Amino acid sequence: MKIPNIDCKIEMICPVNLSEDPEKVKQAISNIFPFSEINLESFSIKARSLELRSFEKIYEAITSTQSQKSYMRNLENNLEDNKTWFFLNKQAAFVEKIAICDEAEESPLGPIKVVLTSSNIDGILDWLAFAN
C-alpha cells in the first residue's frame, strides 16, 4: 500500500455513555486510528490526526472485505466542500474490527464519527476508490 502525500486532518468523535469505561472507548479509537492524539472530554472522546497513515486500517478494510462501494457511497454522500465523514461501530472497533454504519443507530452505544478534511479531498477519495 502506498499512502499518498496529501495534507489532511482526521477527527474522531465518540460519545462515552455512563455505562462505559472511557479507557475502553479510547482503546477502540486507538485500535483503528493508531497515529492519533486522543483526548477525553466530559461525555465524549475526541481524537485527531494530521497524517493520512492514520487511515491505513480503513484502507486495508476496504481492500480486504470488498466493502469499497459501501465506504465510497458514505464518503461521497457526506461530502461537502473539502470535508466528508462516516460512522464506525464502536464495539467492533474495540475488538479491532472495522464496521461502517449507514446510520448512527446501527452502533447501539453510539458510533465513532470520523471526519476527514483536506484541501485535496478528491485525491484522498480517489486513493480509497482505487484501493484494489
Structural domain spans, the chain? 9-129
Residue-level pLDDT at 72:
83
Q: Which of 129, 130, 118 is nearest to 5 (CA)?
A: 118
Residue 62: its pLDDT value, please?
Answer: 78
Summarised one tens digit per residue, pLDDT across range 5-34 is 999 999 999 999 999 999 999 999 999 998
Residue 61 pLDDT: 82
> Can you give the pLDDT at residue 131?
64
Q: What confidence score (pLDDT) does residue 102 get? A: 87
Which mean pLDDT values do the consecutive 10-residue runs of the chain (132 residues) have?
Answer: 90 95 94 94 93 89 74 89 95 92 90 96 87 60
State residue 114's pLDDT score.
96
pLDDT for 84 equals 96
Query: Could you give the angle at the alpha carbon of 103 between the alpha carbons of 110 and 44, nearest 5°?
Result: 25
pTM of the model: 0.91
Answer yes or no: CATH 3.30.1440.10 is held by domain 9-129.
yes
- Distance between CA atoms of 33 and 12, rounded to whole angstroms? 9
**33: nearest Cα among 79, 74, 90, 75:** 90
Give the per-residue pLDDT at 132. 57
